[in-house]
Structure 1
């Protein structure tokens, strides 16, 4: 009996660990990382390897994920007529405003300058030299999915990709592929499956990174992170006020009436961190509680939500500027415009990607040649900011629906037009 209990204990512990929500595991990882860093000191530097591995894998997945997500979103979107053109205009306007608010707040508050790192210094020192086994292992992990195929010597990279896709596609091996849309769906689903595996090791990456930073540098970098957190929350609050103003000026519904009607959707978005999961509830509340037309509610909450990621785009732009400030670098207006452009493109179709902010941020950083190592530092607070920006994403869907409904409520009593 005792031997049976011993074999079951690890399984039970693993089951409890996996059953816990990601944010709870990250909080636990931060606490354990602080303790390990204080206990190990400089020796904790070796624990940063999981963080570097996560960043390498995210960087490899980001381009194909964004490509397939945008392709699928555009293929599945039911757009047509003047209402569709207005929808696209509203979505683009809201996203651009969000990014400019983020950049303005980051330029004014300059949270990265509160506790600057030496110019060009990495977030954590590289582990060992070229002969270190851990470094050799990281070097064998492909930086991109197509990279190993252009390098004749990257056999290990090809093996990594083959094993990952082989396992991911096992669950889709009986899926029929009758159209191009089916092919895109299978490819995107397999990538998201692999992304879920990477997300599973994020808490271990956070643990290693926190331990390494605390052990080698102390708590200096976390003071700068506190400033970044305040700046992002401030920018998200300003974006929320912008939405309220837009509703006040462009819709028959008052901002208080709208927010009161969709508060459950906003709370669900904050608690789940997913605008896709919240989508059906958002649509229902817009129809039942707010009283919008069926077409307006569906266009904004169902169709528009696939393209509307204002909070995520705002966060990515601010993160890029924050890291540049932390390194003592200056992003020119041209580089900041490139951040805007990349953030807009990367945010399209990202609603269905788990932890989309982390995935797309690698593309934004690379667009202006910022070291992606610092994304690992943001992991320690990203779990909370992710929920804040997801709520803003949903509020953006709500705003678009209200603006599409217009300033007259008379049409609510009319028979809704047949859906196409």
Structure 2
């Protein structure tokens, strides 16, 4: 049979079509694989993606609705979801601090806890000093106050920053007093604070002398003044009285001190303290479960908060043009410290990739930016570091509550820049001694700053008073503080995250070698009628219900390996030999 010769051109065309089809199939497989990877990443980081989009949506909606000039009622309604989200987070702060510290330190050896303590303090103090010095260097180089002369507001009568301008000494004394509260119940909702009151005092003798009257004693002087109806306005003076009072807000420092002391002595109780530690660990897990639930409201809440803040600004563009260079100085300092100094310190000390840590804690950083509160972001920060970054829970539960209270790198930098900026606007030259005072006072004030929005603005009064600058000049910074506060809070939380990573790196050996005095709670004991995989009775093959995991999922069990608990001795005696070798 003769074969029909094929046309070489047709054969070439067929080969080309086959090659193209193969290439298309390869491209499709690649795109399918890439899209599948993107889809899997999006599903596993759905909350992070939603939170990032909420920031963008909040800014866009805020600027768009601002053009319509909404009234106070509309702003209140649009801000309500964000307010409710903040209230839910703040509700969890106190129990989270108490239970996380107790659960973390209660299972630690005292020596290990001491090692964590000094490393934590050393890191926090070092980074805060670096941040304050960086702020001073930038503001002295850029000099935003000399290049941008800002007019002071004509009326400062309505200005209220903290309501009580404390002197530096009284602020430090209040910090020490709050470390040791006299009543733990009161410390949950109030803090000790020095209160200044003004009292008008009249010198009766001076009043009589000014009116050319004589008197024999004080009682006679008062009677003479009242009987003659003399004018004593020139004999009166105003005296300031210093008293100890209280202000609203949780005394976080005092509660932390008590909780740390309680936990360390609890760890010394041995077996007697084990039930307490297990109960506290269970309560901590309950709180973290509530945190995970609340965080699904964060996209709506953060978008609402940002939108509400933008709607409250009257003229955003004009505001940026007025004191834009000051904002650039602060933001540049925060960028250098948060994106260069802290990651570089983490890289040098741990030899690990800081970008990986940032990626794992992105949800916490976005929450800090949206809520403008280190305490509000505390539950998310703990969750990210433990579940994504793999930081030991004993480190996070000790460091993060303390860091959210005293580690305020961004606040120290901001206060140093702001005070020198005000001095430059006033035309006051700063010598080295004055700059040193500003640096030290800014560090001390940032440590004592509350973990609530715009707390740095309140503590800045302390720094201004320390260098004899009028506190009224804070009015220059009020219009942009709401925006800068979000960036410095983000840097504060970033400092906590990098610090936890560094301390965890240097504490791994001690944490691994020091067996906890109180092991974690054991899994629930199976019921008597529970059957193990591999044992076939009258009812046929059974599946284990221990920890709610079906043993029929062999691949999952094999992958987890040693994470499963072997049967207890009582179960060994109750089941055949083949059941004893089965991995749960």
Check whether TM > 0.5: yes
| Deviation string, structure 1 residues 220-250 (Cα, Å, up to 9, x no partner) | x864510011111100011011100111011
Matched, 1:16 2:16: no
Deviations 1:15-38 (A, max 9, x none): 53763869xxxxxxxxxxxxxxxx
| Secondary structure at the counterpart of residue 406 of structure 1 | helix
Residue 266 of structure 1 pairs with residue 295 of structure 2: no
Q: Establish whether residue 226 from structure 1 lines up as the match of residue 324 from structure 2.
A: yes
Q: Which residue is equivalent to 2:135? A: 102
State whether structure 2 residue 153 is matched by structure 1 residue 124: yes
Q: Deviations over 1:36-57 (max 9, x none)?
A: xxxxxxxxxxxxxxxxxxxxxx
Alignment of 1:182 with 2:238, yes or no, is no
- Note if contact 2:350-2:505 (Cα within 8 Å) is conserved in structure 1: yes
Q: Within 1, Cα distance between the matches of 2:376 and 2:502?
A: 23
TM-score (norm 1): 0.61
Q: Is the 8 A contact 2:373 2:452 kept in 1?
A: no
Asked which structure has the greater RCO (Cα within 8 Å, sep 6+), the reply is 1
Is 2:114 the counterpart of 1:114?
no
> What is the match of residue 430 of structure 2?
331
Matched position secondary structure for 1:188: strand
Greater fraction of residues in helix: 1
Q: Match of 1:158?
A: none
Distance apart, 1:381 and its partner CA: 1.0
1:20-169, aligned counterparts within 5 Å?
A: 80-116=113-149, 123-126=152-155, 144=164
| Unaligned ranges ≥5, structure 2 | 1-70, 84-96, 168-180, 193-245, 251-308, 520-584
Q: Match of 2:342?
A: 243
- TM-score, normalised on structure 2? 0.45
- 1:286 counterpart = 2:319: no
Q: Deviation per CA, 1:153-187: give whole Å up to 9, x if none.
A: xxxxxxxxxxxxxxxxxxxxxxxxx9523333343
CA drift of 1:320 comes to 0.3
Report the counterpart of residue 5 of structure 2 in structure 1.
Answer: none
Which residue number in structure 1 is paired with residue 482 of structure 2? 383
- Cα distance, 1:371 vs structure 2: 2.0
SS of equivalent to 1:350: coil
Report the number of matched residues.
Answer: 300
Counterpart in 2 of 1:161?
none
Partners in 2 of 1:110 and 1:146 — Cα distance?
A: 28
- Are 1:299 and 2:398 an aligned pair? yes
CA displacement at 1:298 relative to structure 2: 2.2
Other-structure match for 2:442? 343
Query: What SS is found at the alignment partner of 1:191?
Result: strand
* SS of residue in 2 equivalent to 1:116: coil
Q: 1:418 to 1:402 in 2, by over 3 A?
A: farther
In structure 2, relative to structure 1, the CA distance for the partners of 1:317 and 1:371 (3 Å cut) is same
In the alignment, the residues of structure 1 paired with residue 152 and residue 72 of structure 2 have an alpha-carbon distance, to the nearest angstrom, of: 35
1:377 positional shift: 1.9
With over 3 angstroms needed to count, the CA separation of the structure-2 counterparts of 1:142 and 1:393, relative to structure 1, is closer
2:244 is equivalent to residue 192 of structure 1: no
Contact kept? 1:265, 1:278, Cα under 8 Å: yes
Q: Deviations over 1:107-146 (max 9, x none)?
A: 11111111235xxxx722358xxxxxxx6xx79x996499
Equivalent residues of 2:400, 2:500 under 8 A apart: yes
**Following the alignment from structure 1 to structure 2, what is the Cα–Cα distance between the partners of residues 142 and 312?**
16
* TM superposition shift of 1:312: 0.9
- 1:313–1:343 CA contact under 8 A, matched in 2: yes
Asked whether the 8 Å contact 2:404–2:451 carries over to 1, the reply is no
1:191-237 per-residue CA deviation (whole Å, 9 max, x = no partner) reads 2379xxxxxxxx9xx87xx89xx9xxxx6x86451001111110001
User: What SS does the corresponding residue of 2:488 show, helix, strand or coil?
Assistant: helix
For the residues of structure 2 that align with 1:142 and 1:296, how far apart are their CA atoms? 34
1:361-415: CA deviations, max 9, x gaps? 1111111111222212211111111100000000010111011012686788889
- Equivalent residue of 1:102, what SS? helix
Partner of residue 362 from structure 1, selected from 461, 464, 483: 461
2:418 to 307, 319, 322: 319
| Aligned partner of residue 183 in structure 1, secondary structure | helix
Aligned Cα root-mean-square deviation (Å): 4.1
Against the structure 1 CA distance between its residues 419 and 277, is the aligned structure 2 distance closer, same or farther, given a 3 Å change threshold? farther
CA distance in 2, matches of 1:142, 1:394: 24
**Inter-partner Cα distance in structure 1 for 2:189 and 2:507:** 43
Moved over 3 A (4+): 10-15, 76-80, 141-147, 183-186, 221-224, 407-420
Q: For residues 116 and 224 of structure 1, what CA distance do their matches in structure 2 show?
A: 9
